[in-house]
Structure 1
């Protein structure tokens, strides 16, 4: 999940001692994480990837599924190791000055990419997930916790409206996650 139950409770103003709805809150956070990752067309969790491209791109850039790239452990073309490439880590791109030729039939990359999520963070390996993604998860969770169909709330002089433009994510959540969306 893009946040922990404890952090979400803190941001939502729920007492840390109140565990009555922890199961429901966990489900909402998992659903919010899934919706955000689906919208962004990527996973944010730090993991190992093995990508196979069956043809070169005829260009100098090879777009990988996961990013940011933490480490490329193996790069092969037609089963032969290569090292004449550079990584554009934050974009998940491998650059090769000579390009990725169209005749190169099997380009295989084994690499580690993604962010250390709050639930996976340790003192030795601190969280690297951007806070805006964590906040987006909590905001979407808050929307899911509301009564279905409610589009506005009023508390005293404060009025807040929530709209959904049909893609499943509220506008505030979209604005937070759009910089991390895979566009290609």
Structure 2
């Protein structure tokens, strides 16, 4: 998950936090994390991934989905290559041509807040965690109310249904991390 319950408790307004709702908050964190990863078309957790990609002699690059790439553990067509930023792998001579003909297993992604240790501290970019925290806070509010006022009781309802889309502030934070190669 892109954040954890402890961090959420520290940023959640006191009036929205109820200790008896910890299980629901964990579910909201999981749902917000999944929605963000789905929007970005990639996973962020540092782990082993395997992908099949198409090679083209005319292209010197193949692109992997779950960057940053830390190491490659298996390459089906072992060519000399160089790992570049953003999940790109470079081969000076180009890649063998074919549809899904290259199998790559690699360690990619970020160390998430819940997986961090002293030996391997978190590496998840702060905007991704902030987007998750913000989205969870939005899930805690009544989704039909846009604004409210207590004096003379004034409530404004949302007239624009998001239709399953992420809220604009969340999208603004995560846009730089959308998988560009898929």
TM-score by length of 1: 0.84
Which of 81, 88, 98 lines up with 2:84 in the alignment? 88
Q: Does 1:128 align with 2:123?
A: yes
Residues 105-114 or 128-137, more deviating: 105-114
Q: How far off is 1:108 after superposition? A: 1.7
- In structure 2, the partner of 1:7 is 7
Work out the CA distance in 1 between the residues paired with 2:8 and 2:147: 22
Asked if the contact 1:59–1:101 (Cα under 8 Å) also holds between the matched residues in 2, the reply is: no
Deviation above 3 Å: which 4+ runs of structure 1?
153-156, 161-167
- In structure 1, the partner of 2:55 is 56
- In structure 1, the partner of 2:94 is 99
Please list every run of 5 or more consecutive structure 2 residues that lacks an aligned counterpart in the other structure.
152-156
Q: How far off is 1:152 after superposition? A: 2.6
Q: CA 1:76 to 1:180, structure 2 compared with 1: closer, same or farther past 3 Å?
A: same
Q: How far off is 1:37 after superposition? A: 0.5
Q: What are the Cα deviations for residues 58-88 of structure 1, in whole angstroms up to 9, with x where unaligned?
A: 31110112111011122231xxx33x11111
1:149-160 paired onto structure 2 within 5 Å: 149-154=144-149
Q: What are the Cα deviations for residues 4-46 of structure 1, in whole angstroms up to 9, with x where unaligned?
A: 101011011349x952110111111111001101111111011
Q: Does 1:169 align with 2:166?
A: yes
Asked if the contact 2:55–2:97 (Cα under 8 Å) also holds between the matched residues in 1, the reply is: yes
Number of corresponding residues: 174
- In structure 2, the partner of 1:179 is 176
Tell me the SS of whatever aligns to 2:51.
strand
Please list every run of 5 or more consecutive structure 1 residues that lacks an aligned counterpart in the other structure.
none
Tell me the SS of whatever aligns to 1:50.
strand
1:67-78 paired onto structure 2 within 5 Å: 67-77=67-77
